[in-house]
Amino acid sequence: MGAESQEWQEFGRAIRRWREQRKMTQRQLAELISWAYSMVSRWESGDLRPSVEAIEAMDAALEVEGKLISLGFRAAMADSNRLRRGTVEAKASTRDEDEDMERRRLMRDAAAVAAVGAMAPVLTSLTDALAIAQQPLPGASVSQGMIDDWEHAADVHEQRARFDSPAVVLAALAVDYTDMAPHLGRSQPAAVQRDLVHAAARHASLIGGKWFDLGNRREAHRWWAQTRLLSEQSGDDLLVSWLRSREAGYRRQDPNENLDNVLLVAQEARRLAGDAPSAPLVAALGVEAMILAKVGRHAEAITTLRLTEETFERMPSSGNSRQARALWYDRTLIYTLTGDLKRAEHARDTAERLYPTGHRSATLLALHGAALHARTDPNEGTHRALQLLDALPAERRDTRVMSAGRLVVEVLPEKARALPGARELRALTIGSRSA
């Protein structure tokens, strides 16, 4: 498909700029990503849109850490927006339906339903057929089945986010949110609107998190602002609290953030959760405790951790097992930061048994273990952290992983920070991604 849009031309110029910065020819880049040389030339000229596989391969080969993927998403979104521009009525004409189907096809192709390979066209056709067959709710542009599907999709995306790379998860999120977006701009009955923004807020929160993981703080903050707007419209304070805690949990890992401001976000999440024991309240308290530990308010951090544990214990006996292991993760980080090595080691050992292989938190816990070693043996701790980071593929070395790597440097005794391993680790993890 020909591109020839301003966004794809900008994308092409970015490829050329980063390739030339690395003193790489088009042919060398093509060989690195196992693609035809002529295709690289057409991508750079902006007259051909690359597949998601090609975009991810070039991003890794050029070592731009998600920036090329970001530009590709923006260009794909622009394609989608051009197709649906001007469509404002809830009931589309046949021509509008054709355009809407093409928009969905574009997003699935551009955003990466790549994971299903040759099955993508089949799945797209089935999804479109299902949507057309469902009757909208009275006075609405969506059916109950569509809303239920988007809520379920948010659960699926949350699960995938624990194992898949940020680019793959963001790709899938882009498909679903782009399907929701036209309905968010239309007049809906109050009950339908509440349900619709509830699902959309969950997606927007995850999108913000994945942009953060890819190192694009500007996009992350834009999507967190959208999350706040949508979640508040839902009228569900527990949802607002949960998503505010998630935002604070991400932002506490940004070295450019003012942590006093992030602490206010966590405390607002705690207020919104109310006093009754609940998963959102446990999440808000846990994030607050981690931020307090991070800013050196250790006694307050431990007190808040104790309150987190007490609140979790007062939850119904069917308590969330995922939240139980998350609490062990919180303990690991808090005790590591406060210097309670015995409790930190116990918490990490327990958490490691609870998280399956391949889970994102398993990687972070391994880096926490390196931080524990760094307190008593700086050379061994920094060496272990460097080994862990070096073993990860480029797409896995995202913002949160680098934050865990920085923790090793942060807990080092002052004199040990001048060691070669410490300097190397600091250079690798500090300022390694765009603001």
The whole-angstrom separation of Cα 325 and Cα 42 is 49
Question: CA separation (Å) from 231 to 212, 240, 288?
Answer: 19, 5, 20
Element holding 230 (H helix, E strand) = helix 217-233
Is the alpha carbon torsion for 362, 368, 373, 378 positive or negative? positive
Report the candidate in 14, 435, 59 with the shortest Cα–Cα distance to residue 256. Answer: 435
* Residue 107 confidence (pLDDT) above 90: no
Residue type, 168: V
Asked if 398 and 413 touch (Cβ cutoff 8 Å), the reply is no
* Residue 5 confidence (pLDDT) above 90: no
Q: What is the pLDDT of residues 291-319, one digit of tens each?
A: 999 999 999 999 999 999 999 999 876 45
- The two most distant CA atoms of the chain are separated, in Å, by 71
Can you tell me which residue has the tokens 């391993």? Answer: 421
Is the alpha carbon torsion for 244, 245, 250, 252 positive or negative? positive
Q: What is the pLDDT of residue 17?
A: 93
Q: What is the pLDDT of residue 49?
A: 81
Q: What is the pLDDT of residue 168?
A: 81
The whole-angstrom separation of Cα 221 and Cα 166 is 16
* Residue 92 confidence (pLDDT) above 50: no
> Residue 364: which residues within 8 A CB-CB, separation 6 or more?
329, 400, 401, 404
Q: What are the helix (H) ranges across 85-184?
A: 94-111, 120-133, 144-161, 166-184
Q: What are the helix (H) ranges across 277-419?
A: 279-294, 298-313, 321-338, 341-354, 360-376, 378-391, 399-410
Q: What is the pLDDT of residues 144-203, one digit of tens each?
A: 988 999 999 999 899 888 888 888 888 888 888 988 999 998 999 999 999 999 999 999
The whole-angstrom separation of Cα 319 and Cα 305 is 18
Question: CA separation (Å) from 61 to 64, 65, 68, 167, 390?
Answer: 8, 10, 11, 15, 16
Q: What is the pLDDT of residues 114-137, one digit of tens each?
A: 333 334 444 455 555 555 556 778
* Residue 27 confidence (pLDDT) above 60: yes
The predicted model gives 214-239 an average pLDDT of 94
Q: What is the pLDDT of residue 77?
A: 65
Q: What is the pLDDT of residue 124?
A: 52
The whole-angstrom separation of Cα 23 and Cα 33 is 16
Instruction: Give 292 or 101, the one with higher predicted confidence.
Output: 292
Ordered by where they begin, the domains of the chain are 236-354 (1.25.40), 360-435 (no CATH)
pLDDT band at 240 (very low <50, low <70, confident <90, very high): very high
CA 259 to chain CA centroid, nearest Å:
20
Tokens of 405: 């790597």
Percentage of residues in the chain having pLDDT higher than 90: 42
Q: What is the pLDDT of residue 97?
A: 45
Tokens of 220: 């992350």
Decide: helix, strand or coil at residue 361: helix
Asked if 106 and 79 touch (Cβ cutoff 8 Å), the reply is yes
Q: What is the pLDDT of residue 246?
A: 97
The whole-angstrom separation of Cα 374 and Cα 404 is 13
Is the alpha carbon torsion for 59, 64, 65, 71 positive or negative? negative
Centre a 10 Å sphere on the Cβ of residue 340 and count the other Cβ atoms it contains. 16
> Residue 8: which residues within 8 A CB-CB, separation 6 or more?
46, 49, 75
pLDDT band at 281 (very low <50, low <70, confident <90, very high): very high
The whole-angstrom separation of Cα 424 and Cα 143 is 55
Pick from 19-33, 225-239, 367-381 the range whose average pLDDT is largest: 225-239
Asked if 368 and 345 touch (Cβ cutoff 8 Å), the reply is no
* Residue 431 confidence (pLDDT) above 60: no
Q: Can you give the pTM of this predicted structure?
A: 0.72
